[in-house]
Structures are given as C-alpha cells and as structure tokens.
Amino acid sequence: MFAVTAARIVADDPLAGLELGERPEPVPPDGWTTVTVKAASLNHHDVWTLRGVGISADRLPIVLGCDAAGLDPEGNEVVVHAVISDPAWTGDETIDPRRSLLSERYDGTFAQRVAVPRRNLVPKPAALSFAEAACLPTAYLTAYRMLFDRAGLQPGATVLVQGAGGGVATALILLGRAAGYRVWATSRSEAKRDRALALGADQAFPSGTRLPERVDAVMETVGEATWAHSLRALKPGGTIVISGATSGPMPPADLSRVFFLQLSVVGSTMGTRDQLGRLLRFCEQTGLRPLIDRTLPLDQARDGLAAMMAGELFGKVVLTA
Ligand SMILES: NC(=O)c1ccc[n+]([C@@H]2O[C@H](COP(=O)([O-])OP(=O)(O)OC[C@H]3O[C@@H](n4cnc5c(N)ncnc54)[C@H](OP(=O)(O)O)[C@@H]3O)[C@@H](O)[C@H]2O)c1
C-alpha cells in the first residue's frame, strides 16, 4: 500500500527524512482492526517526528500521521482516536504512562490502511465529511480538553489564544466562540489576524501587544515566543493552559508573577476517547466545522509539511487517500 513514512531523523532538515512509497500492509494484532483511510490530517507532531523529537531512531521507519477518518472492515464510517493506551489500562487514556500516539510506536495514518485497537474507533457522524472528521482527533480534541476540561472557565469568560493560525489555535477560536467565550487572539501576521476575526475572534492583536484588559485564561501552544506575554495577559488568579511549545520549551518562568498573582499553569495533552465522542457531538449540535486550509492527495504530503514548517497555514491540512 502507499504510505508517507519517516525513514530517517534529520533534525535541521526534517523533509530530508521523508519517504513516499510502498509499505507492507498492516497486520492487526488481537483486539485491533484495520481502517481503510479516507482522509487524514497533518499535525505539528509529524514535523516533530521527522526532527526526532519524541521518538528515537530505532523506531524508524514508521508511517507518519495521528489523525484519520475512514471505514472499518464492516464498512462503518469511523474516526480514529489517536491515543493508544496499554490494553490493561482503564480510565483517562491521556494519563496512562505507557500510552503512545499513532506514529510513535505503531504505524500512523498517512497510508491507505492503518491498524488500530478496536476500542479506538468512534462512529463518524454522517453530518461530517471524512475530511472534516479527520481534523478532529488531535488538534480539535486537544483544544476541546484545554478549553472545556483543563481551563475551568465558564461561558462569558475572556480567553486569549496565542498564535492564531495554528491547527490547535483555530480550533480554540472556533470552539471557544461556539461555547460563548469572548475569544481574543494574537498572531504575527496581519492577514492571519483578519482571518481570526472572520472566524469568530472578538479581537485580534499583534503577538506581544499590550491588551485592553487582562484575561481569565490563556491558551498556549507557541511556547518561548509568547510565554512572557501570556503571563502578563492574565488576571490575578488566572490560568494558562499549555499543550505545545512550537517556538521552544524553555522560556524564563517569571516565578514571582506566578506566585504573587496566584496564577495556575496547567498542562494538557490530547483528550480521551469519550471526549472525542463528545467533540463529535458538539460539532453535530452546534454546526461547527473544522477549518481546513488545504486538501492534498496523500502523495503531496511533502508540500503540506513544508507549509506547516514555514508557518504559512491557517487551519488544517487534510490528506486524502
Ligand atoms: N499536547 C498535545 O496533545 C498536543 C496536541 C496538538 C498539538 N500540540 C502542539 O501544539 C503546537 C501547535 O500545534 P499545531 O498543529 O497547531 O501547529 P501549527 O499549526 O504549526 O501552529 C503553530 C502556530 O504557532 C505560531 N508560532 C509558531 N512559531 C512562532 C513564533 N516564533 N512566534 C510566534 N508565534 C509562533 C504560529 O502562529 P501565527 O503565525 O499566527 O503567529 C503558528 O500558526 C505544536 O507544538 C504541537 O506539537 C500538542
């Protein structure tokens, strides 16, 4: 079958380790099944894998991709939950110390077929296309958990989303807006700030700008480049929820501000299978649809990854198999 594979780790030239071509058919072990992939979507995770972040060379070659929607062997339309927990684990899969994401230990979704644990399949609502559904399991699920589980917010609260153009950031704007939050966004690019407003953000600011007032919570995925601003933006008692650090993971912590203003710094990773089910229902109920920047055939995955690395995207890149 055709697949998009991380064949080598080249930290400073990630696309040099990418291979497109034939790979063996997946062989599902007991309790697993094979999904025929109709659509998959890119995440920054795929770039990290090619850079060797979160994976060691002995796992390669490995098929990239966390997210997919497709057909199970009975022809049912399904969405794949990307968090693979230990078979003995029960409860919140995101805190299983043995968990992995698809494409970390097991081949991922950028292929015509992918093997996944049967319990990781969630029915796809008919109202969502395969392309839309394929955007949800990583970026949108992460945004859902950040906003609705980890932030402790109530509707009407003001939320700042850093780095408006990213897959998680556009998801945060759409979900926050649909849930009745006042959503503010930052971006380095004027064009992306305009698009954030069109998407439903109440106001959009250049990255690092002083805000008109302090916010209840900040949603962080950018890291070093925006961290100091995130801390300055919070009301006393406010919360930063952080799920990524695209620009680097080691900003100055500014501990005095954290304790003096009694700020909460809350980590968040992916979401549970149940949360993915609720996210799908949230989309059905509210009419929310993921924002897709572009749709490419699987054999053009390199172009999508290059656009992501250049920070050119506004929304998700979908690959169709
Ligand atoms: N923990 C989890 O479960 C989880 C799940 C999903 C994603 N993540 C992480 O979250 C991060 C975002 O993921 P994504 O897929 O949304 O990535 P993405 O689409 O590549 O988004 C990154 C965004 O960050 C902003 N940015 C990047 N470098 C910047 C810089 N130097 N200064 C200011 N802003 C910068 C850009 O926004 P502007 O151009 O608009 O300024 C860009 O659109 C990644 O690090 C990813 O690994 C984690």
- Cβ burial of 219 (10 Å; 0-12, 13-18, 19+) is buried
Q: How far is the CA of 242 from the centre of ligand 1 (A)?
A: 11
pTM: 0.97
Return the bridge partners of 187, or none: 206
42 CA distance to ligand 1 centroid (A)? 12
Alpha-carbon dihedral of residues 155, 234, 95, 309, nearest 10 degrees? Answer: 100
Packing angle between helix 167-178 and helix 190-199, nearest 10 degrees?
A: 30
* Number of helices followed by number of strands (H, E) in the chain: 9, 18
CA distance 24 to 3: 9
Each residue's pLDDT tens digit in the chain (321 positions)?
A: 999 999 999 999 999 999 999 999 999 999 999 999 999 999 999 999 999 999 999 999 999 999 999 999 999 999 999 999 999 999 999 999 999 999 999 999 999 999 999 999 999 999 999 999 999 999 999 999 999 999 999 999 999 999 998 889 999 999 999 999 999 999 999 999 999 999 999 999 999 999 999 999 999 999 999 999 999 999 999 999 999 999 999 999 999 999 999 999 999 999 999 999 999 999 999 999 999 999 999 999 999 999 999 988 999 999 998
Backbone φ, ψ for residue 35 (5° rounding): -105, 130
Residue nearest to atom 6 of ligand 1 (CA): 139
CB atoms within 10 A of CB 129: 17
- Closest to 231 (Cα-Cα) out of 251, 248, 212: 251
**Distance in angstroms (rounded) separating the CA atoms of residues 240 and 214:** 12
Identify the bridge partners of residue 121 per DSSP, sorted by sequence position: 80
Cα dihedral sign, 220-226-228-233: negative
- Which ranges in the chain belong to alpha helices (H)? 44-51, 130-133, 141-145, 167-178, 190-199, 227-233, 255-260, 273-286, 301-309
Atom of ligand 1 nearest to the CA of 222: 24
Provide the token pair at 118: 């049967």
Q: In this structure, which residue's CA is closest to atom 33 in ligand 1?
A: 225
Q: For a pocket test of ligand 1, which of 138, 170, 175, 221 has the largest count of ligand atoms closer than 8 A to its C-beta?
A: 221
Q: What is the CB < 6 Å shell around ligand 1?
A: 43-45, 48, 138-139, 142, 163-169, 187-189, 192, 207, 221-222, 225-226, 243-247, 269-270, 308, 311, 313
